[in-house]
Structure 1
Amino acid sequence: MSYDSIKTDGATIKTDLADGILTLTLNRPDRLNAFTGQMMQEMIAVFDKADADDSVRAIIITGEGRGFCAGADLAAGGDTFNYDSRTSTTDLPLGRDGKPDLAADPAMRDGGGRLTLRIFNSLKPVIGAINGPAVGIGATMQLPMDMRIASENARFGFVFSQRGIVMEACSSWFLPRLVGIQQAADWAYSGRVFDAQEALAGGLVKEVVPADELLPRARAIARSWTERTAPVSVSLMRQMMWRMLGADHPMEAHRVDSRGIFWRGKQRDVQEGVTSFLEKRLPNFPDKVSTDMPSFFPWYDEPEYK
């Protein structure tokens, strides 16, 4: 399955699929891969296609050139974050103040949030290979990825307070869950840029490696997640863990776990997994994410967030 067809003129991304690993590279190196609406649309389209493509087992996201993503493209100057010109008040529901609720207009939705929600919903595990500066949406788009590893050249910044705006891309939900409220507050309130070692110490990234080892290390991790594992099991567990971050009680996990064990226990993958273990050989799991997800998936119902 080719990914070239989703790219528009002047594409902002590159893709490469090899050995079941899809590498998505942000590709505006002359602008330090600054984020645009077109980049958002192209990245979302890649995730849509990857979910339906059984040849994709894992996704790596990185940046071209010396930057990962320098945040939103600020070419519009002071109006970069002014949404008034993007929407009409016609037929919008009224808010508490009796005025049209602009946030009800899809055109008003934060583009970074649309991307991070799509990554959150991914059926394939995602690794961030952070090669250079990553600030604003460049930092927040990483948060729903399953693991982040950083080059020694990486820099991070949740710079919103220094731009007069607030956290975006659902980062007020993701960041405290990843690093704890104290660390999240320090980075968000100050808006300061910090290096890869501080990101490692604060729990934002799992590893820091030399620049020339970044992509090989990301691919090695991706292979460890995919070479001996059942694709359907990995997809289910990814959603189980992310969804449980918002659960009120472990009983919610118990219910989902029980349904998963019951369903998977009857499928071909389990027979192959047990047999290959007993025969001391590599497994060849037959079930596919595109066709063999269990009948209870998705067990959640949240159309308002899609």
Structure 2
Amino acid sequence: MNTLPQLTDALLSLEERVAVLTLNRHDVRNALTGTRLVDDIVTTAEWVNRCPDVSVLVITGAGSAFSAGGNIRDMAERGGDFAGTPAECAERYRRGIQRMPLAMEAVDVPVIAAVNGPAIGAGFDLANMADIRLAAESARFGETFLNLGIIPGDGGAWFMQRLIGYQQAFELTLTGRLVEAEEAKALGLVLDVVPDDDLMTSTLTLARRMAAQPPKATRLTKRLMKMAQRMALKDFLELCACFQGMSHNEPEHLEAVQNMLASMGKG
């Protein structure tokens, strides 16, 4: 089950239950259009859900950028993902980049974005699709679609307001301004800002701590956290009861209890 899928424009590794997906088109600043990166992200997300050996997924970028979002040259030339009539363009979005937010939202395990540099447009939105974001000091963020006369067509307007509230998300989206890493932390867009050279060390430390938790309960807890956002309390508690009944009957629960008792005995 831990055979890695074949990717085209990204690199994937798995160690200590932590999968690391590295966007590897630094020649175009990891643009999500005009490359196969969306395909690679969707493939990885689906693989993670099938692979019981993965407990955490980390996404980062190779080179100086996390992701520059859309390919502006293709926009200028009305080529690639941006060609055709309004109906053709809309269908290309549905069959193209919009698969990414659906796949990311469905990932069963915690997802951490290690934002190593600029995350612009759809690249910013990709980071916001993760559960947690850690930023290098050189990272910058921008919901820059309006600067180009287009809208956030990949779901960015859905994700960001759920992170920082409608008013803050509205201001960032309607002004299209760039946000430095420290302001992103103050806004609640990122959990922490670390020196560039420490980004992956800090990210993997957090990822491994999560990956050390019982894997089945971790996936159920991630699912609960997501479903809590759209369920009434009474229905949510019923789901919790069902998931808890499952958890109490898993061998990993008994093992964790025994480990806790052993550690208490040592104290």
The answer to whether TM tops 0.5 is yes
> Are positions 1:31 and 2:28 aligned together?
yes
Select the residue among 167, 188, 205 that pairs with 1:203.
188
Partners of 2:96 and 2:182 lie apart in 1 by: 29
Partners of 2:9 and 2:87 lie apart in 1 by: 25
> Are positions 1:250 and 2:233 aligned together?
yes
Structure 1 residues 126 and 176: CA distance shift in structure 2, 3 A = same
SS of 1:55's equivalent in the other structure is: coil
Between Structure 1 and Structure 2, whose CA radius of gyration is higher?
Answer: 1
Partners of 2:25 and 2:82 lie apart in 1 by: 23
> Are positions 1:233 and 2:217 aligned together?
yes
Structure 1 residues 86 and 268: CA distance shift in structure 2, 3 A = farther
Contact 1:150 1:209 in 2 (8 A): yes
Using the TM superposition, name which of 124-133 and 27-36 deviates more.
27-36
Q: Counterpart of 2:66 in structure 1: which amino acid? A: F
Partner of 1:6: 6
SS of 1:6's equivalent in the other structure is: coil
SS of 2:108's equivalent in the other structure is: coil
Q: Counterpart of 2:145 in structure 1: which amino acid? A: F
Using the TM superposition, name which of 159-168 and 109-118 deviates more.
109-118
Alpha-carbon shift at residue 45 of structure 1 (Å): 0.8
Contact 1:83 1:108 in 2 (8 A): no
Alpha-carbon shift at residue 139 of structure 1 (Å): 0.2
Alpha-carbon shift at residue 278 of structure 1 (Å): 1.2
- CA RMSD between the two structures: 2.0
Select the residue among 118, 131, 141 that pairs with 2:126.
141
Q: Counterpart of 2:198 in structure 1: which amino acid? A: E
Contact 1:177 1:245 in 2 (8 A): no
Alpha-carbon shift at residue 272 of structure 1 (Å): 1.7
Using the TM superposition, name which of 69-78 and 20-29 deviates more.
69-78
Structure 1 stretches of 5 or more lacking a match? 89-101, 282-306
Select the residue among 49, 52, 56 that pairs with 2:50.
52
Q: Compute the TM-score of the two structures, normalised by the length of structure 2.
A: 0.90
Contact 2:74 2:82 in 1 (8 A): no
> Are positions 1:153 and 2:150 aligned together?
no
Q: Counterpart of 1:224 in structure 2: which amino acid? A: R
Q: Counterpart of 1:167 in structure 2: which amino acid? A: P
Using the TM superposition, name which of 210-219 and 39-48 deviates more.
39-48
Partner of 2:65: 67
Alpha-carbon shift at residue 258 of structure 1 (Å): 1.2
User: For residues 66-86 of structure 1, what are the alpha-carbon distances to aligned partners after superposition, in whole Å with 9 as ceiling and x for unaligned?
Assistant: 111011122323325645369
Partner of 1:276: 259
Partner of 1:294: none
Contact 1:20 1:58 in 2 (8 A): yes
> Are positions 1:16 and 2:13 aligned together?
yes
Partners of 1:48 and 1:109 lie apart in 2 by: 18
Contact 1:150 1:205 in 2 (8 A): yes
Partner of 1:163: 148
Alpha-carbon shift at residue 108 of structure 1 (Å): 4.2
Select the residue among 235, 246, 249 that pairs with 1:266.
249
Contact 1:110 1:169 in 2 (8 A): no
Partners of 2:156 and 2:223 lie apart in 1 by: 18
Structure 2 stretches of 5 or more lacking a match? none
Alpha-carbon shift at residue 191 of structure 1 (Å): 0.7
Partners of 1:140 and 1:244 lie apart in 2 by: 22
Partners of 2:194 and 2:38 lie apart in 1 by: 28
Partners of 1:187 and 1:83 lie apart in 2 by: 28
- Structure with higher helix content: 2
